[in-house]
Chain A
Amino acid sequence: MTGVDIVNLLEKGMADKSVKCSVTEERRVSVEIKADDLKEGISILLEACKPRFITLSAVDNGLDVELMYHFSVDSIVVTLRTSIPKETSQVETMTDIVPAAEFIEREVSELFGISFEGHPRTTNLVLPDDWPAEEKPLSKPFAGNLPPQARGEVENLLSSGCAQVILEYFTEMRERAGLPKLPSIACASEESLREFQELIRRTGFDKRAGFDWEKSKLRYR
């Protein structure tokens, strides 16, 4: 079985889900998958290729923790990677279909603070018994990469297209001076604001900065 074969069967099996598969090196396949679809993706791989589970690795990205389940199909390493937002820090356990993941999920749980729902045993594996439960030694502070001085401006920019916060005090003064309440700036019309925000999404800046569109705020404020 080649890397390309594995990619094809995964893409076919997960056709209705957003899954990104690629052969990254000669014997490595990378699969980007949503946390909710992870179990299904692993099940398909188990069924079709009878792989060996290698290990689980975790990377703390500040706002999310990336989990990577590594499997070997003959001499090809297949990695299913997913991102867990720290707001929930929760994902379904894979131990019911991959029993060998039991120890490593416990390790990731106590070192990074991710809880694996449905895991059979949650006592400490590597940390001492008297270790304070809230302290997760390998986890980083919940913060994005924007310096504090930039955060307010970024929130204003992404929600209105304007770096200044729009104050009623000034819009009223504008009206009294005989000008339209708002200048012809992006948020003055729904259409231009939507267009501007779409452009921001395409640059990926909202993801890099950790902006929550629903709350119009950065995730870490």
Chain B
Amino acid sequence: MTDNSSNQKVIVFDPELCTGCRYCEVVCSFKHYGCIDLSKSYVRILFNGDEGTGAFEAVNCQHCEEPICVSACPSEALEKDERTGWVKINPLKCIGCQMCVYLCPLSVPFFDEERKAAVKCDFCDGDPECVRHCSPAALRVVTREEALQLNKRLYLGIR
């Protein structure tokens, strides 16, 4: 990881704190579409395992260091900002081929039927709504380095 990359801001999800309220989805859809429609949210909260275990997972864009979506895009609609590291889709350049939708390992982007373009998390230009409204701070803005440490602890048991 380059120095620049390890300091970039990303959104990390901590399943130990998530209460499953799904308010992050409510505010994301409202911010980007002006209406409350959970199917239009760029972050998605899922039950992980049996119902009733209270174990949640989030599907949220990692703004990867080497984004597959950016490499796959035939019309250069997807760009990783050099300074902030955030990966954004330019809807005016998108041709709706959905390569990014198929190739993302986390299935983060999805095809917006109305706009006829792919859409995904844009980090809300630095102050993500989902993080702002998450009461238990399960969604947090941290550096990529910190996010990796957290994920290693959670999923690999490495402290």
Contact = CB atoms under 8 A, between A and B. Distances in A.
A149 interface: yes
Interface string A127-160: 0000000000000000001010100000000000
Contacts of A149: 36
DSSP majority for the A interface? Answer: loop
Nearest to B30: A147
Interface string B2-41: 0000000000000000000000000000100011100000
Contacts of B35: 147
Interface residues on A, range: under 10
Contacts of A145: 34
A149 B30 CA distance: 12
Nearest to A150: B36
A17 B111 CA distance: 51
Contacts of A147: 30, 35-36
A145 B36 CA distance: 11
Interface string A178-211: 0000000000000000000000000000000000
Interface string B78-104: 000000000000000000000000000
A86 B155 CA distance: 57
Contacts of B30: 147
A149 B35 CA distance: 10
Interface in B21-76: 30, 34-36
B31 to A, nearest CB: 12
A184 B21 CA distance: 32
A145 B35 CA distance: 8
A145 B34 CA distance: 7
Nearest to A147: B36
Interface of A: 145, 147, 149
Q: Top 5 nearest A-B pairs by Cβ distance? A: A147-B36, A147-B35, A145-B34, A149-B36, A147-B30
5 contacts: A145-B34, A147-B30, A147-B35, A147-B36, A149-B36
